[in-house]
Structure 1
Amino acid sequence: MAELGSLLHLLAGGCGGTAGAILTCPLEVVKTRLQSSQLTLRPLCLSEMQMSAMSVKLMNSTPPSPGVLRLLKDILEKEGMRSLFRGLGPNLVGVAPSRAIYFATYSGAKERLNDVLLPESKKVHMLSAACAGITCATLTNPIWLVKTRMQLEARVKGEMANNAFQCAVHVYRTEGLRGFYRGVTASYAGVSETIIHFVIYESLKQKLRSSRHSISPPLTLSPNSYDFFGLMGAAAVSKTCASCIAYPHEVIRTRLREEGSRYRSFIQTLQLVVHEEGPLALYRGLLAHLIRQIPNAAIMMATYELIVHLASSTL
């Protein structure tokens, strides 16, 4: 039964992650471009003289950041619709095993920690989320590095861009195996976002369960659909809080994954970005991240909970 339960969490996590990734891919591309140090050069297609002049200005001020809609329009006009789905291949390859590993590890760690600590306490949720986040980041970082490289690769409309395999081969030839783990330290720092997310989510979920008997659901919704939308709301709220608090690690991770990057370590990148572009640069792309991540987290968590509930009720 324990093995069957682990397989169930693997399946539920994989399905939830895949559903969210497919629906929010264009915003993922925009967010990555906004986080990059190259965003003012590639999307706006500046001339060499303009780029030279801007490079001098960047040393003393925060670079201008195009808005989400402006960048979406720019990518569509200059690179075509397909560029909004750059990196979808690695995303689809990686999101199912990534979410499956995450949820299976989280569920397994929580089950074991409940035996030695106060069951379902915040400490259990935090340690389980940390364990799951570190495991997932270590095993899947090569996939996300390839995805980031593909999303940062601007191309002229109609021009063939490298696919995931070509990108992976290029990384291996130029940087070796270590190249696939660039940005992993930022991913470890990003575990704080996961911890905050799950602590708030589990707390809201417990409140939903306790209030379900005292607050009757709307007449138009069945109890199951009421639970489903409640979980989506809990996931959205918890992810919003976590993303706003821990967002800078996303910018640092993208910078570390840039090809030929002068960014070498987490602390060095943090200091360099703040020194050259100001503290606000650590929040570039936050709007696109929230627009993408909130529905993505809601879809993923609700799908996960629904599959677990349906499968558990039939076993």
Structure 2
Amino acid sequence: MQVIGGSYPAPSIGLRQVLGSILKMEGPAGLYRGIAAMGLGAGPSHAVYFSVYELCKDFFSAGNPNNSAAHAVSGVFATVASDAVITPMDMVKQRLQLKSSPYKGVMDCVKRVLMEEGIQAFYASYRTTVVMNAPFTAVHFATYEAAKRGLMEVSPENADDENLVVHATAGAVAGALAAAVTTPLDVVKTQLQCQVKAFV
């Protein structure tokens, strides 16, 4: 819904209208355009993300597992690395999802973009993506680790029994705070991407 119309303000179109329009014109398959591209990119990017995060956390913590700054910095490094893996497939996914997409599938899109626009086209939004995702992961991981530690200290004798509750609660708090802090960046990123698409 964010990319409908390149100028501001956007028309008032809700989730129900967009879903109804896609289902009417393309059927249920229309809701899954681009899923193959994300399937190919998500696995490797998540593997890179968590590998880099754990390596950096061990390195930057300097023996102190409660170092929130180390968790934040590790999240940023993990984001920079994983976004380098996922960004090309994210671009392919977006092009396949566009209405009246000229591409027949993932491989057709990759070949044509490579031949017509060059490899740099796959990374056109990399900087913007990192600028958006890096602050989110920094806030998220620092908050998650701190909240988890704080919750376990409230009832240390039951920490093992309540492990799932602690992780879920800490994750919810971290996600909410990270979203609140970075949503303004997301709005700016969306406006930039829509502006660029309007001239393509």
**1:67 Cα shift?**
1.7
Q: CA deviation at 1:146?
A: 0.9
Consecutive unaligned residues in structure 1, runs of 5 or more: 1-33, 41-54, 217-221, 265-315
Instruction: Compute the displacement of 1:263 (Å).
Output: 6.9
How much does 1:197 deviate?
1.0
Q: Which moved more, 1:177-186 or 1:94-103?
A: 94-103
**Counterpart contact for 1:35–1:251, Cα < 8 Å:** no
CA shift at 1:160, angstroms?
Answer: 9.7
Match of 1:189 in 2: 131
Structure 1 residue 203 and structure 2 residue 146: aligned?
Answer: yes
Letter matched to residue 84 of structure 2: T
Q: 2:116 aligns with which of 154, 163, 174?
A: 174
**Percent of aligned pairs sharing the same letter:** 25
How many pairs does the alignment contain? 199
Q: What are the ranges of 5 or more consecutive residues in structure 2 without an aligned counterpart?
A: none
Are 1:90 and 1:144, in contact at CA under 8 Å, matched by a contact in 2? yes
Contact 1:149 1:257 in 2 (8 A): no
1:154 is matched with 99
Distance of 1:173 and 1:208 partners within structure 2: 54
C-alpha displacement of 1:70: 2.4
Task: Determine the structure 1 residue equivalent to 2:80.
Answer: 134
Distance 1:212 1:142, change over 3 A: same
- Note closer, same or farther for the CA distance 1:201–1:97 as it changes in structure 2 (3 Å cut): same
Superposition RMSD on alpha carbons, in Å? 3.0
2:107 is paired with a residue whose SS is helix
Q: Which 10-residue stretch deviates more, 100-109 or 166-175?
A: 166-175
Deviation at 1:170?
Answer: 2.3
Q: Whole-Å Cα distance in 2 between the matches of residues 80 and 107 of structure 1?
A: 42
Structure 1 counterpart of 2:167: 231
Task: Read off the aligned partner of 1:67 and give its amino acid letter.
Answer: G
Residue 186 to residue 232, structure 1, CA distance change in 2 (3 Å): same
Q: 1:232 to 1:119 in 2, by over 3 A?
A: closer
Give the 5 Å matches for 1:1-315.
Answer: 34-36=1-3, 39-40=4-5, 58=7, 62-115=9-62, 118-151=64-97, 153-155=98-100, 162-190=104-132, 191-213=134-156, 223=161, 226-250=162-186, 253=189, 261=197
Q: Specify the code of the residue in structure 1 equivalent to 2:181.
A: I
- Give the partner amino acid of 2:150: K
The SS at the match of 2:197 is coil
User: C-alpha distance in 1, partners of 2:185/2:33?
Assistant: 22
Report the Cα distance in structure 1 between the residues aligned to 2:26 and 2:173, rounded to whole angstroms.
34
Contact 1:129 1:198 in 2 (8 A): yes
Is the deviation greater in 229-238 or in 119-128? 229-238
Q: 1:143 to 1:212 in 2, by over 3 A?
A: farther
The answer to whether the Cα contact below 8 Å between 1:186 and 1:250 also exists between their aligned partners in 2 is: no
- Between the aligned partners of 1:211 and 1:257, the Cα distance in structure 2 is 45
Structure 1 pair 178–104 and aligned structure 2 pair: CA distance change class (3 A):
same
Q: CA deviation at 1:82?
A: 1.0
Cα gap change, 1:66 to 1:99, in 2 (>3 Å) = same
Bigger relative contact order, structure 1 or 2, given CA contacts below 8 A and separation 6+?
A: 1
CA distance, structure 2, for counterparts of residue 114 and residue 150 of structure 1: 42
